[in-house]
Structure 1
């Protein structure tokens, strides 16, 4: 039965069941788009679905950071709206390069409802998710996420244990064997008992798709079944079977996985496929020689089957490709040929976009026009008019399959937020002494040259764990020559010792780049802060502090940065060996209960925003306290205050009970605990402790004359009460004593309990008494404006996770879970090696440094645990909380965003071309980035005290005021003020160039080519054109920008309509009657 079978009019039950889906409307999702994003969305949808000559493939190549994911969201919503009444099921498949990007973007792409989770799966596990009440086949609309490495490129032939158990279960009867040999073939590296558990669990499942099972058994056939039985007999009778090549378990399982994957493609039935950052897996788009690259050929064949899917009614899947760098954007004659060539990559991509049927011919047409364009460029400035005409012909061809928006096209100065810093790097004598000592060791073990490593990081012998130097040392450590032992002894001053780490001794940053980073990141005093100051504080003046993102070419650099900066930050916080020992025993819930209790009375009475509206802006935390003191003195009668003073520790609980705000704690649900917390049941125990305290009588104690001051500290400094008030702003439907809102606030407060239990936090607050530590915490949170910090952060969470349309109770729980995970994240442990020379051998001692102030961003594995840890680290960096420095390599970071609290990018090593500079800085130069928020708050922050009402979102008001002002000034109100806004805050580009190095001259060349490399778009030998442009007279250079190829959809829309003669009205729906060109 074809997928596009119309729904039967007489099937009343089916119509009633799907009434809510039939009414699907894209409007609420399209309203989230900015004008330039909406223009692209509408244009892409028209080219893919409604034009008379549509295309099956379309590329959105917007400049990095402009929200391609939001455009994809809009296209998905429009496609669902158009198809949902016409087809049995709408399947949208999202494919990206890794799980970190998938986890980040699925929330943004989910337009199918908060209660309908996307499927984030492997293609070969589809049989477990296709059928059943909540399966893909039972849903009217599906969003399915895959990654090429787990779905298409099956080079890891054994797959996962779950995959193998599923395959075995589906083939159980066909194979007909149950002995240990067959289990050995399928279990891979899993132990015998564990594998039996996998088989038993899979055998009990009743949701395995019978349709796929039947197709799979038929497709496998007797030949491979025979080989499986033969291999199983060998495995049963021999300890070390000598398999023929075609009997190797990895090969057999690999063949089965590929067969199953091909069947699952047909079962998936995609309508729209999103390929995000597809350049990371571009090989899957093109054919490969099976003889030379069988794995690539198999993966590409499977990909083509998915991408070219058509059902038996002739309706085909559409592909939306997303990438700011869909091909190598710039290549030079001096580049390594293995890195790719712009011209070849460009034409190959264009052939794919134009489709199998006409791709080669249309690519040749484009090639001829590009040759003509190049000739006119080479004849500048005389051929300016001819060049413009030639450029227009190229644009017309490209706009059929590509749209691209760039900041420079929509603003007078797209780089107005960029501010360059080039710290002066000084080389100290000790730097050279280390270089000499380590070079001698490397020479004696025949390790590669270390010059680039030495320029990048200090203490190389500690951090070379993934490099040949360490491997070579390990090879020689049992019988080292005397000269090597002496070299190791002479290198001792240039290694970090375990005693230095455990004693929190000073470790000098012996490297010019490391010293520059050290000075840059510590200049704002962040080493003594647990979170960044808010962009719009409740008191005083804004501070300019921001987070720092470091890009390096070498994987040892992130470890060195995380270890050295975090160690020094801990020292500056007052850490000692004694405190580390004492803080190993966390302070319990009972002792910290006052800071864990969310007071509904105080949240309602005291709001910093309302205090500002009433009294004006406070100049300091002391002034804010005085404003709150006045409100509480008016609101609370003296007799009540006198009673509260009798039990100051639990005064806030008694206040809520006296004021009738005592939540029914039996109805408060526990927030699911983060796996990183030491105590998984902390939420339950906290709720029980609060409930017990409410039932108990007030404990007698001494009178507290400053009870109002204590309540002020609770109102403005308690993590629980600050969270209750902040969460309440974004769920005004819930009263402050609502059980779900209270549970969420407690969850947030438990995150802060973990944070303040960290040894560094206890050292910073000079904790001396566990029973009174909560008082220090309240004061710290008030003085560091936690209330404003949470207001700002929750605003960003809601937009990032698309929680606007989620039910209020689910919204606050989701927010609380995010904050809990981030704030309670454990420090990383950076492993260091220390080498020493004994009498006969080398000794290698391994130890660890805690890293929380600075961290590395690198997923060592793609398993679930590694992915989850990487996701938490990214989420923490996107929060106001630590880490304040994140160090990574450039590899694999395309598509990830780090911008909410970071506006400083450090180029540790110089990028190879200007495109990489834009890619790196595009990680932070994004929507509502930290610099933009600081500038917009500076200009419009005062409206909060003038126009805001109780329980409102101050940041929505600030940005809406800025948008209306921009529109009043004649702007669109999109890029400005959401991506760009003038002011003192900038995106800082920090470039670390060693003195007297060739990199200084190369950087100047890079900067000059940033402006002009786009003119060489689609051209071979691009560096020749760039050299030609550099030699033009100044007046001709000023006109070069007029000749850049523009693929803005606004400009393209009219041109395309004229070209294809599209005269239909919007009400016509040709989606099901037109076949896209392929």
Structure 2
């Protein structure tokens, strides 16, 4: 980009989804800074543009070179004049790196923006036009829409804060204001000052803002915000602009001086340094910079023009674009001729050479020996049962009654359509017909095939899928024993337990990401699969499927309290105070550095995997030695004091890590237990812990005989201890560091709520009654939690999860203590949020008898979703769109949900690869690119399939040699994987692709026998082999059909390999 000859002023990185475009951008940022430093520049300005503000903030961390902090609080170009830009000096360079979104910085049109933007506009205009014109009606122009806390006074106070900054940029503002005024006069529009005077006059003595003035108000503020954005660009002087997923705002790259947003974008992208004459460089990032493949769906010719529009922007040279068009035309003629294809190879080489000067694209298919990119399509057996056909007959009759077309595509996709459909013409017609009496005496809405029997749901009886695809999915989950799991088994376990988590079926399990073309599918799948999971959890019990299900055996880890009697009162206390009655629950959330060190289950010594019994014995021995001084001071006669189970860890920490006990119990106390403040009993438990530490061993009776063994379970499987070790390793912090301890407590608190969920409790505790959990002794639910955590290798799960979350959040390097502490906080928050995903419920309509016994009404019922969830277009009853981000975090964790069903993800920039490498194409897309885009969502950096293979191949050697104490095990594992890379592999191995091992990106296509979908799948497979041959061509589908007419799939693959336009970087 800074070559002396023919530099690439604009360059596109078009790698496939999540092949590291952000990593490439980070390298470019570092090289740009290095180049400018060598040229003598003291200041480097870099702008990152992304359509989503949250993603922009996340990716900004990944772009920042070590030792450099991005500009904080600057997310709009209009507010840039207020920023304290790093100017640089002889001792240190000034780096200004900021993230903006097009919607708030460029595409705001005539919007009046935020109040603080209008305050800055007021400061500029007050300085430019004089304070004397800013009377009370004039000031109302800027505070209109704000009602709270005296808006006029707020405006004046904020303007005083902004005044000095506005003065610094006033010269630039006045110059641009003059340009705008001249342009408006030339176009016959009123001057901004005239608009201002008319507004001030029109608002004088008015109690409300007249409707007639709104247009002028928006025009004035919109123009001033536009000027402020240009002032910001002028102040910034961008050296590099990064446009991420720019296809979402591609219209900004066009030429249209009459468009506000486009004009601003052109000022940003075409900026030239007035001192050096150096043009701003632009780096574009997108997996789909243009429509990759077009079918004959009415949009079939968009690829060609879209591709050349992109090339026109990149080359910024019409002659080169025309030459490229000619070469693609020659290639099409060569491909469709009956002569040798030798000439086509030369044309492809010439096109690749031309395009490589402005773009690069890496594809994962090229990264494996057989060019399959780790992709595998297992056989998917879909059965159609007689009951399915009877349901179709019922649905067809209903459609005929209401005059709806043939519903076979609906029937193939989902069962119980009348119950689950929303906003479908068929459902609306049924509802209207039912209301006007068309279904007299039932007439099609009576119980039977095709309609959900709510009595079966209430009684937790099995609900027949009545659909081949749903039946296959339920069978697939059962085959992998998924309904018996609370989290995905770790890719690298630390010891052997023989539990379900180590069974071959569960060990091969990964989450399922389902795509469908129908909105009803995610709703049906999430409701009925979650119901099946809940039904199995409560099997054999008397519970019914009711709205108050949380009362049935959940909350076993509540902070219960009781009345303190006179005999229980300590010195200084009085009877009647609430006493803590569940201190073992408090123990589960207590992050004990002492136990975390004594009970580290990672295999640190040579020897490999060991049975968990040996690990428990070793840990119990170390704990026995550690608590020996405490136990020696305890009474030897009297009743066994079960308080030792929770008291011993606190006393150990007081002796070894006094700062931790002070931090959690004294310095801030309850305020540190964020997230559990609503539990009224927590305060009593914190007070109980403080009292114990005050009185010490003297307050305790004889310890239980199994104290060391129970504490060994807590040390190995306690959620707080597992979180302590995981956070300490991935954030590179000491295990007793304040950040480590507080964030481990945050995770442990979320685990408490997770283990309190009724269906989770049912899976862990089995059939034991809630009453058996009263008390502090062994054998109760808190012990069940510990044993389940041990059997599921929870430490290995958290180590793996926190490692990938750290990278996913952008903490690829941890330069100093502040960054480590921030990483620990963000990782812990992500883990806790995933555990805290609330159970949602979706509407289900059940026909019920109306007057005269007719089925006239559809009663509104609810079905819970937790094990499987709907994503995107569905209307959720709790949180609506705000729930989407929570669902993403939860699915990208090892915990429930295990199934995500959506209609909306295929073309969105969302990641689902952390614990999923199986994509289910419930309904096939129309073209091969969409198929690849769907699968690309789970085939990304350090994805689940990659980790499983790396672990299967290298973990035995790592564990046999012993893990480095305190270090991140997965960093050690990937460090071992790098030397296995062959010279031909490139840097995709081992982070994006690792072919050796059992895991593959799974493409599941549940196709009904003898259906049209089978032929569609064959066509898509063939198109996958050939569509790259149609790159840069009009009428792509016709060309692909022509090339594949007389060729097998293998022949097409060989042809595509020969005629590949090589855009891979050297």
Indicate the TM-score class for this superposition, using the shorter chain for normalisation.
0.7 to 0.9
Equivalent in 1046, 1057, 1062 of residue 1062 of structure 2: 1046
Report if aligned partners of 2:139, 2:152 keep a CA contact under 8 Å in 1.
Answer: no
In the alignment of these two chains, the number of paired residues is 975
Structure 2 CA distance for aligned equivalents of residues 574 and 933 of structure 1: 34
Is 1:819 matched up with 2:818?
Answer: no
Equivalent in 226, 251, 265 of residue 303 of structure 1: 265
Report if aligned partners of 2:419, 2:452 keep a CA contact under 8 Å in 1.
Answer: yes
Alignment partner, residue 151 of structure 1: 105
Is 1:649 matched up with 2:645?
Answer: yes
Shift of 1:623: 4.5
Shift of 1:538: 1.7
Gaps of at least 5 residues in structure 2 are 181-190, 497-501, 560-579
Shift of 1:200: 3.0
Structure 1 CA distance for aligned equivalents of residues 688 and 370 of structure 2: 58
Alignment partner, residue 596 of structure 1: 589
Equivalent in 377, 387, 396 of residue 353 of structure 2: 396
Is 1:625 matched up with 2:596?
Answer: no
Shift of 1:54: 1.2
Report if aligned partners of 1:795, 1:953 keep a CA contact under 8 Å in 2.
Answer: yes
Shift of 1:989: 0.4
SS at match of 1:608: coil
Alignment partner, residue 565 of structure 1: 529
Report if aligned partners of 1:793, 1:880 keep a CA contact under 8 Å in 2.
Answer: yes
Is 1:343 matched up with 2:304?
Answer: yes
SS at match of 1:50: coil
Structure 2 CA distance for aligned equivalents of residues 748 and 944 of structure 1: 27
Shift of 1:56: 1.9
Rg larger in structure: 2
Report if aligned partners of 1:641, 1:707 keep a CA contact under 8 Å in 2.
Answer: no
Q: 1:430 to 1:658 in 2, by over 3 A?
A: same
Q: 1:164 to 1:210 in 2, by over 3 A?
A: closer
Is 1:224 matched up with 2:199?
Answer: no
Structure 1 CA distance for aligned equivalents of residues 797 and 422 of structure 2: 39
Alignment partner, residue 577 of structure 2: none
Output the aligned Cα RMSD: 4.2
Report if aligned partners of 2:981, 2:989 keep a CA contact under 8 Å in 1.
Answer: no
Structure 1 CA distance for aligned equivalents of residues 216 and 529 of structure 2: 49
Structure 2 CA distance for aligned equivalents of residues 573 and 268 of structure 1: 59
Is 1:805 matched up with 2:776?
Answer: no
Shift of 1:910: 0.6
Alignment partner, residue 375 of structure 1: 333
Alignment partner, residue 271 of structure 1: 239
Shift of 1:975: 2.1
Report if aligned partners of 2:849, 2:857 keep a CA contact under 8 Å in 1.
Answer: yes
Shift of 1:67: 0.8
Aligned pairs for 1:767-846 within 5 A? 768=770, 769=773, 771=775, 772-803=780-811, 804-806=813-815, 807=817, 808-834=820-846, 836=848, 838-839=850-851, 845-846=859-860
Equivalent in 338, 363, 366 of residue 409 of structure 1: 366
Is 1:546 matched up with 2:506?
Answer: no
Shift of 1:749: 0.9
Report if aligned partners of 1:330, 1:1022 keep a CA contact under 8 Å in 2.
Answer: yes
Structure 2 CA distance for aligned equivalents of residues 156 and 682 of structure 1: 53
Equivalent in 427, 436, 459 of residue 480 of structure 1: 436
Structure 1 CA distance for aligned equivalents of residues 871 and 836 of structure 2: 18
Shift of 1:61: 1.1
Structure 2 CA distance for aligned equivalents of residues 778 and 210 of structure 1: 61
Alignment partner, residue 18 of structure 1: none
Q: 1:483 to 1:877 in 2, by over 3 A?
A: closer
Alignment partner, residue 975 of structure 1: 989
Alignment partner, residue 714 of structure 2: 714
Aligned pairs for 1:878-893 within 5 A? 878-891=892-905, 893=907
Alignment partner, residue 58 of structure 1: 11
Aligned pairs for 1:752-771 within 5 A? 752-766=751-765, 768=770, 769=773, 771=775
Deviates most, 95-104 or 784-793? 95-104
Report if aligned partners of 2:620, 2:708 keep a CA contact under 8 Å in 1.
Answer: yes
Q: 1:899 to 1:176 in 2, by over 3 A?
A: same
Q: Deviations over 1:881-916 (max 9, x none)?
A: 222112222457543221121110111211221111
Alignment partner, residue 329 of structure 1: 292
Q: Deviations over 1:927-954 (max 9, x none)?
A: 2221121122111112233142322222
Q: Deviations over 1:827-863 (max 9, x none)?
A: 334344556563499656545433222223338899x
TM-score (norm 1): 0.80
Structure 2 CA distance for aligned equivalents of residues 528 and 758 of structure 1: 15
Deviates most, 595-604 or 1019-1028? 1019-1028
Deviates most, 452-461 or 316-325? 452-461
Q: 1:267 to 1:466 in 2, by over 3 A?
A: farther
Structure 1 CA distance for aligned equivalents of residues 311 and 681 of structure 2: 56
Shift of 1:819: 1.9
Alignment partner, residue 903 of structure 1: 917
Structure 1 CA distance for aligned equivalents of residues 971 and 425 of structure 2: 53
Alignment partner, residue 970 of structure 2: 955
Deviates most, 426-435 or 415-424? 426-435
Q: Deviations over 1:29-68 (max 9, x none)?
A: xxxxxxxxxxxxxxxxxxx223422122111111223111
Structure 1 CA distance for aligned equivalents of residues 913 and 800 of structure 2: 14
SS at match of 2:981: helix
Alignment partner, residue 695 of structure 1: 694
Structure 2 CA distance for aligned equivalents of residues 691 and 812 of structure 1: 27
Report if aligned partners of 2:138, 2:200 keep a CA contact under 8 Å in 1.
Answer: no
Report if aligned partners of 1:95, 1:274 keep a CA contact under 8 Å in 2.
Answer: yes
Structure 2 CA distance for aligned equivalents of residues 379 and 965 of structure 1: 45
Alignment partner, residue 704 of structure 1: 704
Report if aligned partners of 1:894, 1:919 keep a CA contact under 8 Å in 2.
Answer: no
Q: 1:89 to 1:454 in 2, by over 3 A?
A: farther
SS at match of 1:850: strand
Alignment partner, residue 1057 of structure 1: none
Shift of 1:400: 1.2
Gaps of at least 5 residues in structure 1 are 1-47, 291-296, 1051-1078
Q: 1:169 to 1:120 in 2, by over 3 A?
A: closer
TM-score (norm 2): 0.81
